[in-house]
Amino acid sequence: MKSLKDRILKDGMALNETVLKVDSFLNHGVDAQLMYEVGTEFKNYFMDHGVTKIFTIESSGIAPTVMTAIQMDLPMVTLKKQASKVLKDDVYQTTVHSFTKATDYELTLSKKYISNEDKVLIIDDFLANGEAALGAIRLVEEAGAQVAGIGIVIEKSFQPGRQLLMDKGYEVYSLARINKLGKGIIEFVEE
Ligand code: G4P
Ligand code: NA
Ligand code: NA
């Protein structure tokens, strides 16, 4: 997605070899117009995948996912990153390890918001090691539903997430794929 890549080059900042800061349009400030275009891209790609629901993970996945859900005219669910305070029987829950942040959290989905007939598109802002996406997949499959695909705004292709998900048979569509980061360096995968 050209406008996204241009924006990453203009406003993104590589903090080091692994972390790209995009606070001005995705993680803190949110460029709603750009997010709308992100939604259009996901819609065009996933429109024939039989998607019934779109899932994301709080919090930075929400903006691009809302924009996709509104254009695909589908319901959206935000997976929570904390253990449910209500009855355990009412939720699906799985532990996710974040390598980037060196912490574990409980990814939680109320049983009310999924059925075994759903085909779920999972959208997130970043794909690094793939642990968040794998956690979301576990919740979907525990409910007996299917994963329709995974949509990512920014993929760090030099980290193992994409390959891990593809090896397990999931389709991954990323709008910007980054090959290399470094001080003052942002390089995309040639496509
Ligand atoms: P993984 O799911 O692919 O394994 O990623 P990981 O746990 O390592 O990522 C932890 C958090 O860091 C996630 O956000 C993820 O979006 C974010 N992240 C990973 N790499 C980068 C990066 O290069 N730049 C930026 N800006 N963020 C990155 P989070 O803290 O869990 O949630 P939120 O920001 O959506 O609230
Ligand atoms: Na995120
Ligand atoms: Na984030």
What is the tens place of the pLDDT at every residue in 3-18? 999 999 999 999 999 9
**How confident is the model at residue 53, as a pLDDT?**
98
- Given a cut of 70, is residue 76 above it in pLDDT? yes
What does the domain layout of the chain look like in residue ranges? 30-179
Atom of ligand 1 nearest to the CA of 98: 7
pLDDT confidence of residue 87 = 67
Architecture of domain 30-179 in this structure: 3-Layer(aba) Sandwich (3.40)
In this structure, of 29-38, 67-76, 87-96, the range with the lowest mean pLDDT score is: 87-96
Q: Indicate whether 157 pLDDT > 80.
A: yes
58 CA from centroid of ligand 2 (Å): 7
For 31, other C-beta atoms within 10 Å of its C-beta total 18
Q: Which ligand is nearest to the CA of 133?
A: 1
Distance CA(78)–CA(60), nearest Å, equals 10
Over the chain, what is the mean pLDDT? 96
- For ligand 2, a single-atom ion, the residues with CB < 5 A are 60, 125
2-11 vs 32-46: helix crossing angle, rounded to 10: 140
Q: How far is CA 160 from the centre of its chain?
A: 15
| Spacing, Cα 116 to ligand 3 middle (Å) | 29
The residue-averaged pLDDT of 165-179 equals: 98
Interatomic CA distance for residues 119 and 149, integer angstroms: 9
Six-digit token pair at 123? 């959208």
Count of positions (residues) in the chain = 191
The pTM of the full predicted model, rounded to 2 decimals, is 0.97
pLDDT digit string (tens) for 108-149?
999 999 999 999 999 999 999 999 999 999 999 999 999 999
| Mean pLDDT value across residues 172-185 | 96
Strand order across the beta sheet in which 172-182 lies: 76-79, 53-57, 119-127, 146-156, 172-182, 185-188
Phi, psi at 141, each rounded to 5°: -75, -30
Q: What is the residue with the minimal CA distance to atom 16 of ligand 1?
A: 126
